[in-house]
């Protein structure tokens, strides 16, 4: 089976500072890939390289390839905006944009040039993000009136409005209470039937709960990647074991 997304000897720099060094990794359709590692291991750079979010970063350079459906995303003539619609992203800090809940949800389809009725898809996206029951009667209230956990689920629903093929999550639960975290994890479990998920997390236990496969990054390198159970129970590398058991990081 050809992978949906593939990194081939991919390196990235911010100016002179290397952030990723020669990473090769496959992401398969329909899986949840957990990405763990200490701070500054390159996890976020890895994630943001997949949908070219780092294009906006001055001085960002890459080498090697990121191949999505057989196309090098850093090749000539690739439309970054269209790519980001297919590879939707949710950030560590919830970023509701000014406007109502409804307006937030409508943004993605509107950017994509879609007109017409979005209500059905909104209900579906909100349900998938486990937020529908809490906001169904207040869609036209400002998004800022939601709690932090609700805002993050709104951001998830807003990304789902794009019907992305891949969902890129950058520590989506880092600022949330355990209950909100549980809601989001539940949502991810339901979503894996229709999207591929890449979940960067600082919480090792979250990876063990949610991920089908787990990748461990350290110092810009991919140390190892395999089925989550194997990474957690009998990792090939001692550093992986040390990190998972909390001996550093």
Partner 1 sequence: MSRWIRIVGAAFTGLTGAACLAILTMVAVILGDIALHGWPHLSWEFVSTAPSANLAEGGIFPAIFGTVALVLLMTVAVVPLGVAAAVYLHEYAPPGSRFVHVVRLALQNLAGVPSIVFGLFGLGLFVRFTGGGVDRLFFGGALTFGQPCILWAALTLAVLTLPTVVVATEEALRAVPRSYREAAYALGATRWQVVWHVVLPQSVGGMLTGAILAVSRGAGEVAPILFTGAAYYLPHLPSRLNDQFMELGYHVYVLTTQSPDVEATKPVLYSTVFVLLGVTFLLNLAAVLVRSGIRRRLRQT
Site residues for partner 1 per CB under 8 A: 51, 53, 56, 58, 81-82, 84-85, 88-91, 93, 95, 97-100, 103, 107-108, 110-112, 142, 155, 158-159, 162
Smaller CB separation from partner 1, 105 or 244: 105
Tell which residue, 217, 221, 201, has the closest CA to residue 20. 221
Smaller CB separation from partner 1, 155 or 184: 155
Query: To the nearest whole angstrom, how small is the minimum distance from the Cβ of residue 97 to partner 1?
Result: 6
Give whole-number Cα distances, 187 to 8, 107, 126, 183, in Å: 31, 21, 10, 6
CA 150, CA 131: separation in Å to the nearest integer?
A: 7
Per the rule left: phi > 0, alpha: psi between -120 and 50, beta: everything else, 52 is left
Query: To the nearest whole angstrom, how small is the minimum distance from the Cβ of residue 160 to partner 1?
Result: 11
Smaller CB separation from partner 1, 110 or 136: 110
Query: To the nearest whole angstrom, how small is the minimum distance from the Cβ of residue 221 to partner 1?
Result: 26
Query: To the nearest whole angstrom, how small is the minimum distance from the Cβ of residue 98 to partner 1?
Result: 7
Q: Is there a contact between 43 and 200 (Cβ–Cβ < 8 Å)?
A: yes
Smaller CB separation from partner 1, 150 or 159: 159
Please return the burial class of 171, using the count of CB atoms within 10 Å of its CB with bins 0-12, 13-18 and 19+: buried
Task: Give the distance from CA 116 to its chain's centroid.
Answer: 28
Helix (H) or strand (E) holding 60: strand 60-68
Smaller CB separation from partner 1, 89 or 231: 89
221-227 β-sheet, strand order: 87-90, 166-170, 196-200, 32-36, 213-218, 221-227
Smaller CB separation from partner 1, 184 or 204: 184
Query: To the nearest whole angstrom, how small is the minimum distance from the Cβ of residue 85 to partner 1?
Result: 3
Query: To the nearest whole angstrom, how small is the minimum distance from the Cβ of residue 28 to partner 1?
Result: 23
Give whole-number Cα distances, 47 to 98, 117, 127, 149, in Å: 26, 32, 26, 22
């Amino acid at each position: 089976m050809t992978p949906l997304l593939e990194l081939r000897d991919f390196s990235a720099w911010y100016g002179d500072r290397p952030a990723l060094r020669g990473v090769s990794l496959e992401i398969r359709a329909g899986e949840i890939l957990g990405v763990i590692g200490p701070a500054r291991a390159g996890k976020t750079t890895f994630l943001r390289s997949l949908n070219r979010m780092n294009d906006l970063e001055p001085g960002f350079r890459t080498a090697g390839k990121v191949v999505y459906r057989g196309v090098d995303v850093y090749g000539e003539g690739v439309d970054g905006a269209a790519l980001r619609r297919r590879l939707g992203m949710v950030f560590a800090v919830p970023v509701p944009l000014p406007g109502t809940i409804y307006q937030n949800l409508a943004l993605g389809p509107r950017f994509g040039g879609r007109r017409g009725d979005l209500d059905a898809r909104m209900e579906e996206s909100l349900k998938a993000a486990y937020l529908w029951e809490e906001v169904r009667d207040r869609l036209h209230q400002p998004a800022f009136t939601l709690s932090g956990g609700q805002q993050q689920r709104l951001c998830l629903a807003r990304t789902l409005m794009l019907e992305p093929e891949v969902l890129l999550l950058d520590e989506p639960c880092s600022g949330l209470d355990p209950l909100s975290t549980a809601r989001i994890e539940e949502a991810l479990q339901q979503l894996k039937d229709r999207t591929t998920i890449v979940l960067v997390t600082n919480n090792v236990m979250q990876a063990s709960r949610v991920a089908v496969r787990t990748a461990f990054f350290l110092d810009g390198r991919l140390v190892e990647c395999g089925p989550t159970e194997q990474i957690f129970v009998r990792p090939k590398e001692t550093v992986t074991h040390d990190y998972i058991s909390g001996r550093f990081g």
